[in-house]
Amino acid sequence: MAEKQQHIMIKGVKEGLLFLLDDECTFEALLQELRHKLEKTHQQLLSGPLIHVHIKLGERVVTDEQKEQLTSIIRAQGNLIIGSITSNSSSGADIIDKEKLKVMTCIVRSGQTVEHDGDLLLIGDVNPGASLLCAGDIYILGALRGMAHAGTGGREDVIIATSLMRPTQLRIGDVVSRPPEEWATGDASMEFAYLNEGQMQIDKLSQLYRIRQNPILFKGV
C-alpha cells in the first residue's frame, strides 16, 4: 500500500499499541486499511501475547455501529484487546467512552468473587473456591483453578482464556461445563474456552482469530 494512502498509524506505547486514525478520509477507507494491516502487513508486530490497543479517532465522530465495526476487526485477531476508543471532538455527545475493560493484578483467593460488566484481564491466579463473573471476555495471565463465568448477561460470543486451564467450573452464557480430565493437557500454550453450537470447546489462544473471523462458530444452542 503506497505511503500516501496510509490512513492508520500504529505506534508502540507503554500501555500496548496506539492506533492513530485519519479523521479526513472515508470510514470505509479506514476499515479497508485496518483489515489490510492486521491481516497482511503488520501480522508479525501484532502476533504473540495479549496486547492492549488504544484507538484515537482525531476529530472524527463515529456512530455505535461504526465503533462496533472497528472493534470487531481488531478483536478478530484474538490476542488484541480494546483498551479505549477516544475522540478529540469537543462535543460531549461525540466523545467515545472507554471500553469496559478492567485490568487487575492480584490473586483471587478462595471465597472471593470478582464481578465486572465488561471484559476482564486478570494478571494473577484464580484459586479453588474463587469466582470470576463477567459480561464480556475473561483473560487470565495465570492459573484458573476456580470458577469462571463469561457472558453473564447471556452473551455466547465470549471466551475464557487462561495460561493454565484447571477450572472447577466453566460457564459461558447459560452453558455450564465441568472440564473433563483430558482438558488438563499440561500444554504450556495459553488456552481458551468458547461455545461451538452450544457445546463448550477448548483450543490454543493462537487459534482464536479463526473463531473471531468466523462468527458462525459462536452459534449457540
Q: Write down the residue that cell numbers 488484541 correspond to.
A: 80
Q: pLDDT tens across 25-56, in order? A: 898 989 999 888 887 766 666 666 788 888 88
Q: pLDDT tens across 64-83, in order? A: 888 888 888 888 777 788 88
Residue 31 grid coordinates: 476499515
pLDDT at 15: 78
Can you say whether residue 16 is alpha, beta or left, with left for phi > 0 and alpha for psi between -120 and 50 degrees?
Answer: left
Paired sense of beta strands 51-56 and 80-86, if any: parallel
User: Do residues 109 and 125 lie in contact, with contact meaning Cβ atoms separated by under 8 Å?
Assistant: no
- Containing 43, the helix (H) or strand (E) segment is helix 43-46
User: Do residues 86 and 55 lie in contact, with contact meaning Cβ atoms separated by under 8 Å?
Assistant: yes
Average pLDDT over residues 119-135: 94
The answer to whether the predicted template modeling score (pTM) of the entire model surpasses 0.75 is no
Average per-residue pLDDT for the chain = 81
Which domains are delineated in the chain?
3-94 (3.30.750), 101-218 (2.160.20.70)
Q: Which has the minimum average pLDDT: 48-52, 143-147, 210-214? A: 210-214
- % of residues, the chain, pLDDT over 90: 30
pLDDT tops 90 at residue 85: no
On the CB side of 17, how many CA atoms lie within 13 Å of its CA?
20
In whole angstroms, give the CA distance from residue 54 to residue 75. 12
